[in-house]
Amino acid sequence: MAGGQGLSRAARAFEAVTFPPLRLRELPLLQIYSALALLFLFLPVLMLVVLSFNSAVTGIFPLRGFTLKWYDQALHSRIIWPALENSVIVAISTAVVSAFLGTPAAFVLTRRSFRFKNLVRGLLLLPMSLPTLLIGISLLSFFALLSVTRSLMTVTIGHVVYCVPYMLLVVSARLAEFDFAIEEAARDLGATPFQAFRLITFPLIRPTIIGGMLLIFAQSFDMFVITFFNIGAQSTLPMVIWSMVRLGINPTLNALGAMVMGFSILVLVAAHRVGGVKLAG
Amino acid sequence: MIARVAKRGHLGPLVQLGPLTLYMFVFFVVPVGIFLLYSFWTVREWDVVRVWNLANYRQVFWSPVYPKLIVRSLSVGAVTAILSVVVVYPLAYTLAFRLEKYRDLILFLLIVSLFSNYVVRIYAWRSILSSNGLVNYILMGLGLAEGPRSYLMHTPWAVILVLLNVYIPFATLPIFSALLNIESELLDAASDLGAGALRTFWQVTLPLSMPGVVAAGIFIFLLSAGDFVTPELVGGINGMMIGNAVATQFGMVSNWPLGAAMVFSTILVFLLALAALLAARRGARLVRL
């Protein structure tokens, strides 16, 4: 009864619509283009997810049937768990160190002006636009010259070099729209500069800092090239993936890759939810 | 009292900015400097010996292989950079001026892509491009290809395609920022003065967004020319780049000074090419005048 009413209402609504002639100029060409560009961007990821459920042992086309076997195999592989642990240790250390180094620096770079400011800012942001190969092998030569044994520590040092610029960008973007008048109000009411920061400014930017740390966690967790050159006997997840990738297409690797992607996306969703993390705009 | 405040005002920034600057100096600037020194040293019996010479550079430039790899890397970088900004511009434009409703979502998707595992994404391209991959599978389904053939992988074009894909977010964000910073009054003024949509775009929007385009282009050029994972996984021998040769010197072959010389030779060739280009432009301008 209700369904019939709904249907007839829909039919009436449909009749009421007049279809204008389709004109090329009115087609949302830009929107269609953007959708296609995003499809291209995510094509490899979609491919990986589809193939990770494909039961063919070749790990590639044709699609034979649905299976969770490869996920089971990936989760029962012995090498991935210690590597995962190392990756998490490095990623957490990188996020913490980057936050401690990057946040105060972002305050100075957004609020003060001083001589050589552009030079310093340029230096601090430079690593993000350089090939990670250069950063990785430079650090390797540096550690070798000083006879520093390679370990998770040297890996973390390298990750911080590459990740800190993102912390600067994220915190600076927040501070650019921050109303510092409320901090001044706290000072006028008798707060010391430290109190004003601790009680007023910091609580307001804390979500941004946590968001930035999650972003850097995700970045460090996935970082391969710098790790590759600076790691010792241990292994991280991207290193395990690299050793499998070089052997060719493999269904277990499809599942492992899909899980790693899924994990990164979860961390980034959290970063977005907590801090509304922005890099542009 | 005043003196104390002034002093704190002076010291505070140093305490806040100092640690990071020092960190970057010690673990970034100094290592790159040391890496440069390595290129003038030599290897004897698997050990780096600090004997100053130019033999590594001679070996790079006189070799039949390395100059070719250097030229290919710089070309792949340039082509990828130009294609990237062209392909990405309409996306950045749409993001800045249309689709306000979905802007946050799309920016988030770009960030997801920027930070999700790069080795995995390049690996996934193999299942698209290889002989049993998606493209061939579709072609075979349409009866356009007879059997599994591998003509897509192992070329410089495969490398460019994958780099283009990987660096889309890196290219989009600077252009998007530049477009967003254009004051809407300027665009209104253009249309008030009678400029149509296309003319406004060519004479106002595009020139004003050029700083973002140039930044994106330089970004993509540097990252692409120095990449070694992509050529390793989809390039094959024909798509091999200087990064692969460098990585080999730091891996199996273990001739670090030669690897360092390759890196700085590439930078040198790039700077010379850039200088030649600028000189040619200036020359052309002089002749016209």
CATH number of the domain encompassing residue A115: 1.10.3720.10
The C-alpha atoms of residue A89 and residue B163 are separated, in whole angstroms, by 30
What are the backbone dihedrals phi and psi of residue B178, each rounded to the nearest 5 degrees, phi first?
-60, -40
Q: How confident is the model at residue A54 (pLDDT cuts 50, 70, 90)?
A: confident
Minimal Cβ distance to B20: which of A41, A157, A164? A164
Tell whether omega for the bond before A62 is within 30 degrees of 0, i.e. cis. Answer: yes
Task: Give the CA radius of gyration of chain A.
Answer: 25
Q: Give SS3 for A20.
A: coil
Note whether B158 and B128 are within 8 A (CB): no
What are the backbone dihedrals phi and psi of residue B193, each rounded to the nearest 5 degrees, phi first?
-85, 5
Q: How confident is the model at residue B149 (pLDDT cuts 50, 70, 90)?
A: low
Cβ contact B113–A229 (<8 Å): no
Residue A30 lies in a domain: no
Sequence-distant (6+) residues with CB within 8 A of B121 are A44, A45, B113, B165, B166
How many separate domains does chain A show?
Answer: 1
Give this prediction's pTM. 0.86
Taking the CA atoms of A69, A70, A73 and A74 in sequence, report the sign of the dihedral they define. Answer: negative
The C-alpha atoms of residue B94 and residue B103 are separated, in whole angstroms, by 9
Please compute the mean of the pLDDT values over residues B50-63 and round it to a whole number.
85
Residue A55 lies in a domain: no
Note whether A202 and A174 are within 8 A (CB): no
Q: Give SS3 for A1.
A: coil
**The pLDDT of residue A14 is above 70:** no
Counting one residue from chain A and one from chain B, the pairs whose CB atoms sit within 8 A come to: 244
The whole-number pLDDT of residue B163 equals 93
Residue A43 lies in a domain: no
Beta bridge partners of B43: B48
The whole-number pLDDT of residue B205 equals 84
Cβ contact A43–B227 (<8 Å): no
Sort out which chain B residues have CB atoms less than 8 A from A195's CB and list them: none
pLDDT, tens digit, for every residue of B164-207?
Answer: 999 998 899 889 988 888 887 877 787 778 777 788 888 888 88
Percent of chain B with pLDDT over 90: 28
Cβ contact A61–B127 (<8 Å): yes
**The pLDDT of residue B1 is above 60:** no
The whole-number pLDDT of residue A86 equals 93
Sort out which chain A residues have CB atoms less than 8 A from B112's CB and list them: 264-265, 268
List the single range of A67-76, B43-52, B215-224, B260-269 with lowest mean pLDDT.
B43-52
Q: Which of B109, B219, B41, B262 is nearest to A261 (CA)?
A: B109
Residue A46 lies in a domain: no
The whole-number pLDDT of residue A247 equals 80
pLDDT, tens digit, for every residue of A224-271?
Answer: 999 999 998 888 999 999 988 888 778 888 889 889 989 988 998 888
The whole-number pLDDT of residue A194 equals 79
Residue A63 lies in a domain: no
The whole-number pLDDT of residue B139 equals 78
The whole-number pLDDT of residue B285 equals 78
pLDDT, tens digit, for every residue of A178-229?
Answer: 877 888 888 888 888 778 878 888 888 888 899 899 999 999 999 999 999 9
Q: How far is B284 from chain A (nearest CA, A)?
A: 31
Note whether B70 and B272 are within 8 A (CB): no
Q: Which domain holds residue A222?
A: 73-275
- Residue B76 is which amino acid? V
**The pLDDT of residue B5 is above 50:** no
**The pLDDT of residue B7 is above 60:** no
Note whether B258 and B56 are within 8 A (CB): yes
- List b or e across A216-249, with b for residues whose CB sees 16 or more CB atoms inside 10 angstroms: bbbbbbbbbbbbbbbbeebbbbbbbbbebbeeeb
Q: How confident is the model at residue A36 (pLDDT cuts 50, 70, 90)?
A: very high
Q: How confident is the model at residue B288 (pLDDT cuts 50, 70, 90)?
A: low
List the single best residue of B119, B136, B254, B264 to mutate versus A (max A Cβ within 10 A): B119
Across chain A, mean pLDDT equals 83
Q: Which of B107, B80, B238 is nearest to B162 (CA)?
A: B80
User: Looking at residue B100, what DSSP letter applies?
Assistant: G
ipTM strictly over 0.90?
Answer: no
Percent of chain B with pLDDT over 70: 92
Encoding tokens for residue A254?
A: 């499809």
Which B residues in the span 18-47 are in contact with A, Cβ-Cβ below 8 Å? Answer: 19-21, 23-25, 27-32, 34-35, 38
Q: Which of A60, A184, A62, A117 is nearest to B125 (CA)?
A: A60
Note whether A238 and A223 are within 8 A (CB): yes
Q: How confident is the model at residue A277 (pLDDT cuts 50, 70, 90)?
A: low
Residue of B201 and B273 predicted with greater confidence? B273
Instruction: Give all domains of chain B, ordered by start, each with its CATH number.
Output: 65-118+166-288 (1.10.3720.10)
**Is residue B123 within 8 angstroms of chain A, CB to CB?**
yes
Please compute the mean of the pLDDT values over residues B129-149 and round it to a whole number.
73
Please compute the mean of the pLDDT values over residues A149-155 and round it to a whole number.
91
Residue A19 lies in a domain: no
Cβ contact A241–B119 (<8 Å): yes
Cβ contact A124–B98 (<8 Å): no
Please report, to the nearest 10 degrees, the dihedral formed by the alpha carbons of residues A95, A222, B77, A133 taken in order.
70
Residue A32 lies in a domain: no
Q: How confident is the model at residue A85 (pLDDT cuts 50, 70, 90)?
A: very high
* Residue found under tokens 């277990």: A252
Give the angle B110-B91-A46 at the CA atoms, nearest 5°. Answer: 45
User: Looking at residue A200, what DSSP letter applies?
Assistant: I
Give the angle B73-B74-B79 at the CA atoms, nearest 5°. Answer: 100
